[in-house]
Structure 1
């Protein structure tokens, strides 16, 4: 298949990009803005409040989700602290900077800090109340991203359920999100499932390539890729708790273009295929088998390779772009900070599809925490 010119379709696509900054060699935000505008990227998610970025993106029309680091969450149980945080970090940049969401913490419920877990929902409520107090709560939503490890069961997708460990907090969290009309944010990485069990998981299935797919025996729903199965497992878990109408947004997904010798599949060709195929599917406004009329929304991780991230080599190689603004690989984006000339569009290589049955699966979804 021919890869579409992504720069021409992203603007009309429910796609965003995570703009992480754990690096010492990234271009200044003004150049980053030019890169995003050249590619019609209209949605960005940040992991922290960065005044330079928020100022640089003023009057650009780019929608920003601003992250609040886990280290700030506990202090937000004070309404006064929450109001002060909103005034300093959000209100100060409105309305010129188009902030549309606040991500309170990241993967809190699957961490080990019990106090942080207990304080998450009160903190989110206080942040929302602070937005109400300045009259912007209708424009700025409040949510929190979760690891897929919040699921105890995820295969088949119809059996999706939250782990007992998180359910006590998940119930009031979902009640709050439902009251304010906010989506549930999930970080989902089919790459981790493949890396941990490459002999059991079909590479074609995780890369959105032609494959035999799987069928959920409970409802005969057919899945031709793992990400949609993961999303539907979350929808099933939501339905089980009485929140069938809540929308799921993929707050992170991506594929590393390099890794250590024990990181199966972490290659540039695979990253090109995964992200290229993902962009095409999002451009088609596809839904999942359980939510066929609800277009999948996703934020790709990440904008740049980040050289100061800890962990295995893959962690430093998720970027669509290198720090100099050139593409890590081509998914049809324009890859230069200096010129406007589009990069050549290449077609991902179609691998030979392999037969793939649920019995081979051995539930490779659950337990993949991916704290970015």
Structure 2
């Protein structure tokens, strides 16, 4: 070790870095930060995420764009068609599902209204380079007792689909709606899956539409709800994708080691029972709350983290269900953030992967970065101009 106050022999032998090299290294380090906007997601994960915004403390869409790209998330589902979100993700390659809210579904039965909605909420963003693959018409419309809404959803979907065709977007953007598991009657064993009798009149023509347009059947699946209702009888390992003996379907002999896959296959069985084998089932929502009321057992960060972590591992393995082993399960996790204005029990406000400040609620291996601030569009243009000047300056310095 060199004596105090005396430079070591090794240090004396190193030449001082040139100003050219220093400038070039500084610029190389700075460049990624200057050019972050518009960078596409590389080596994207297979899983998608629901980006809800029922809150008053969420970061700006531009910052969220940075967060999701740093996590390598390339599929996002919205419950509306927020133009601020779609603009913030331009050039990133992130694929969106956008939604028409339940309150607007009845008006969408009008062809003129459907075309006007698309012209305002979809077409401008597609022309700007956004990736929009699907429009959901309503959400969980069969969960309540609004018979007028339930009767309007399929005509509205047909109207939106025809409007897309008139705009030359047929095959590029499909149309569907998302259901809750309340639409099911029997669901276990999975091979006995059947739709609730009250929904059958709507679902027969609905499935015919999905089959004809090659659109997916979206289902919101929450094994947590089953555990919450009967924690003494529902094995925690079975709902959390942890090692367990599994449950065999006595009719098919297929063995299920987790509830989510059993729920998905029950939906497949219900669809097949109505004569359709070409409709794909996708999980439009699934998640686990990290906090709940006293009467909501299992709503803890530990269990939520276990559920999401194990789900991520299976999705990245491109697993299929026992009934459809060759078809990887397509899943959108609910949700990106805790949403403090959602009504209902405490669990409803605590499904997020992140707190609004970008801190992970629990660790599942998704390492994201939410920047503390993001410049305005005008300032960003100045930075981009500065970047061009800097490139020219470095080139001049290195050539001198």
* TM-score in terms of structure 1 length: 0.87
Aligned residue in 2 for 1:185: 218
Q: In the alignment, which of 96, 100, 104 is matched to residue 64 of structure 1? A: 96
CA distance in 1, matches of 2:50, 2:371: 22
Tell whether the 8 Å contact from 2:68 to 2:368 is kept in structure 1 after alignment. Answer: no
Tell whether the 8 Å contact from 1:10 to 1:41 is kept in structure 2 after alignment. Answer: no
- Is it true that 1:107 corresponds to 2:140 in the alignment? yes
Aligned residue in 1 for 2:362: 329
The structural deviation recorded for 1:308 is 0.4
- Is it true that 1:241 corresponds to 2:274 in the alignment? yes
Superposition pairs of residues 301-340 of structure 1, within 5 angstroms:
301-338=334-371
Superposition pairs of residues 290-301 of structure 1, within 5 angstroms:
290-301=323-334
- Is it true that 1:78 corresponds to 2:78 in the alignment? no
Q: In the alignment, which of 165, 172, 186 is matched to residue 132 of structure 1? A: 165
The structure that has the greater radius of gyration is 2
Q: In the alignment, which of 153, 159, 172 is matched to residue 186 of structure 2? A: 153
Aligned residue in 1 for 2:75: 43
1:137 to 1:186, Cα distance in 2 relative to 1, 3 A = same
Which secondary structure state, in structure 2, belongs to the residue aligned with residue 161 of structure 1? coil
Which secondary structure state, in structure 2, belongs to the residue aligned with residue 162 of structure 1? coil
1:55 to 1:258, Cα distance in 2 relative to 1, 3 A = same
Tell whether the 8 Å contact from 1:104 to 1:144 is kept in structure 2 after alignment. Answer: yes
Aligned residue in 2 for 1:360: none
Tell whether the 8 Å contact from 2:315 to 2:328 is kept in structure 1 after alignment. Answer: yes
The structural deviation recorded for 1:268 is 0.2
The structural deviation recorded for 1:10 is 9.8
The structural deviation recorded for 1:12 is 4.7
Tell whether the 8 Å contact from 1:42 to 1:62 is kept in structure 2 after alignment. Answer: yes
- Encode CA deviations 1:146-183: one digit per residue, 9 max, x unaligned: 00111101000000000110010001111001111011
The structural deviation recorded for 1:248 is 0.3
- Encode CA deviations 1:3-57: one digit per residue, 9 max, x unaligned: xxxxxx9955431000000000000000000000001100000001211111111
The structural deviation recorded for 1:202 is 0.3
Aligned residue in 1 for 2:32: none
- Is it true that 1:209 corresponds to 2:242 in the alignment? yes
Which secondary structure state, in structure 2, belongs to the residue aligned with residue 302 of structure 1? coil
* Count of aligned pairs between the two proteins: 331
Structure number having the greater helix percentage: 2
- Encode CA deviations 1:63-86: one digit per residue, 9 max, x unaligned: 000011000000011110111011
CA distance in 2, matches of 1:267, 1:287: 28
Which secondary structure state, in structure 1, belongs to the residue aligned with residue 63 of structure 2? helix
More moved, 11-20 vs 142-151: 11-20
1:180 to 1:37, Cα distance in 2 relative to 1, 3 A = same
Aligned residue in 2 for 1:266: 299
Aligned residue in 2 for 1:118: 151
Q: In the alignment, which of 32, 46, 61 is matched to residue 29 of structure 1? A: 61
CA distance in 1, matches of 2:171, 2:270: 27
The structural deviation recorded for 1:336 is 3.1
Tell whether the 8 Å contact from 1:251 to 1:299 is kept in structure 2 after alignment. Answer: yes
Tell whether the 8 Å contact from 2:70 to 2:369 is kept in structure 1 after alignment. Answer: no
Tell whether the 8 Å contact from 1:11 to 1:42 is kept in structure 2 after alignment. Answer: no
Tell whether the 8 Å contact from 1:10 to 1:39 is kept in structure 2 after alignment. Answer: no
CA distance in 1, matches of 2:351, 2:321: 25
Which secondary structure state, in structure 1, belongs to the residue aligned with residue 185 of structure 2? strand
Tell whether the 8 Å contact from 2:191 to 2:266 is kept in structure 1 after alignment. Answer: yes
Which secondary structure state, in structure 2, belongs to the residue aligned with residue 105 of structure 1? strand
* TM-score in terms of structure 2 length: 0.81
1:242 to 1:13, Cα distance in 2 relative to 1, 3 A = farther
The structural deviation recorded for 1:110 is 2.4
- Is it true that 1:254 corresponds to 2:287 in the alignment? yes
Which secondary structure state, in structure 1, belongs to the residue aligned with residue 105 of structure 2? helix
5+ long unaligned stretches in structure 1: 1-8, 340-372
